[in-house]
Structure 1
């Protein structure tokens, strides 16, 4: 990490910013929360980052012990990046940061959102009280990616991969799901257009979509 400006502060918060405070670093961690990714997959999830910058961030995060690179076994045999055990400890920090920022009055709700960032937002916004008495397994398909979501006992368990014996299957894209969740698009409209295809009881889908309410925006400071 030669050339990086550092805080030169003994505080652990300052050191954390030395380690992951460079632009794109926490988004790299966000993209790797659900498992390893190839370089091209990382770029797909962060379309605003250049290849050179992403390469440097991965190099820095590897040197810091947050990310590691390994080769998948045959037949894939491709190189992937993944969070180390220590790097995975960033998960609750990233989730809580997303939960905190969801109260920002300036949050661009109409901005583009990638698949992993949308799924991370489900963890950040999940309301256990709204899930009282609900026991459901959801198979969520977002393009070519699949996620299994289990809601039970007021808890949300979410992982990448296919779901066996799902109560509901939802096949859509991140833009449609974000619009239905928080963009004001009616579920019936998404279903009628075919951009959201559901296999399972609609009342369960409606209940599930209601588990992720946006919190009240933080008040702006009064000007005197």
Structure 2
């Protein structure tokens, strides 16, 4: 039974009953990146009360959206095939929300999982397929990622590694993704700091990852 019942017989009302409770879509967002232990979910959603996280997980399991699974002697939560069908919905919602995003406030954080999904949202596979394979190292807020683009395929992993260009980005990074700020201008103004590698590859990054602003 969903935590909320709107009393309407329609697909949208049923979807909102299943995943519309507070924090539910953010849990799904993080699980789209990969299976997570309870503690990892709690760490990635630092403001979620423990009782709310437990309740959301229980509700999503009951709805068949997620499941508990054993992994190397620990229990993780992962999306079911039914739950993974939400990926295009989450990406589309992220693109819509980007239009009203603005700059981050001091108390807001960027997590590796949230940035991974944002990159998936901004990824343009048709454009990427016309460009040479490229590996980017990105430090975005509290997230350090390796972003590998090979044709129309995108792979984002945590941590460091061998990359063609590495950069750190400040709070104005969204202006680069939106096209509001050209890559060279982003470097000049300190929005992006190229740590090593070919700085001209930032132009390729901006071509590959783009989201329209409002």
Taking the aligned partners of 2:27 and 2:36, their CA distance within structure 1 comes to: 10
Q: Any stretches of 5+ residues in structure 2 without a counterpart?
A: none
Aligned length in residues: 201
Match of 1:28 in 2: 27
The answer on whether the counterparts of 1:168 and 1:205 sit within 8 Å (CA) in structure 2 is no
Query: Following the alignment from structure 2 to structure 1, what is the Cα–Cα distance between the partners of residues 12 and 33?
Result: 25
Q: Does 1:43 align with 2:36?
A: no
SS class of match (2:33): coil
1:8 aligns with 2:7: yes
**Map of 1:222 onto structure 2:** none
Q: 75, 82, 103: which is aligned to 1:109?
A: 103
CA RMSD, Structure 1 to Structure 2 (Å)? 3.1
SS of alignment partner, residue 150 of structure 1: strand
Q: TM-score, normalised by structure 2?
A: 0.77
TM-score of the two chains, using structure 1 as the length reference: 0.74
1:147-197: per-residue Cα shift (whole Å, max 9, x none)? 442142xx3523446899x6525375xxx36643537793364776xxx63
Query: 1:90 and 2:86 equivalent?
Result: yes
Deviation at 1:134, TM superposition (A): 1.1
Alignment of 1:49-128 (within 5 A): 49-73=48-72, 77-104=73-100, 107-111=101-105, 112=108, 113-127=110-124
Does residue 135 in structure 1 map to residue 135 in structure 2?
Answer: no
Separation (CA, whole Å) in 2 of partners of 1:9 and 1:43: 33
Cα 1:144/1:168, change in 2 over 3 Å: same
The structure-2 alpha-carbon separation of the partners of 1:108 and 1:63, relative to structure 1 and needing over 3 Å to count, comes to: same
Gaps of 5+ in 1: 218-224
Measure the CA separation in 1 of the matches of 2:42 and 2:138.
Answer: 20
Distance 1:216 1:181 in 2: 9
User: Are the counterparts in 1 of residues 128 and 150 from structure 2 also a CA contact under 8 Å?
Assistant: yes
Alpha-carbon distance in structure 2 between the residues aligned to 1:214 and 1:148: 17
Mapped to 1, the partners of 2:95 and 2:56 lie a distance apart of: 24
Distance 2:208 2:22 in 1: 31
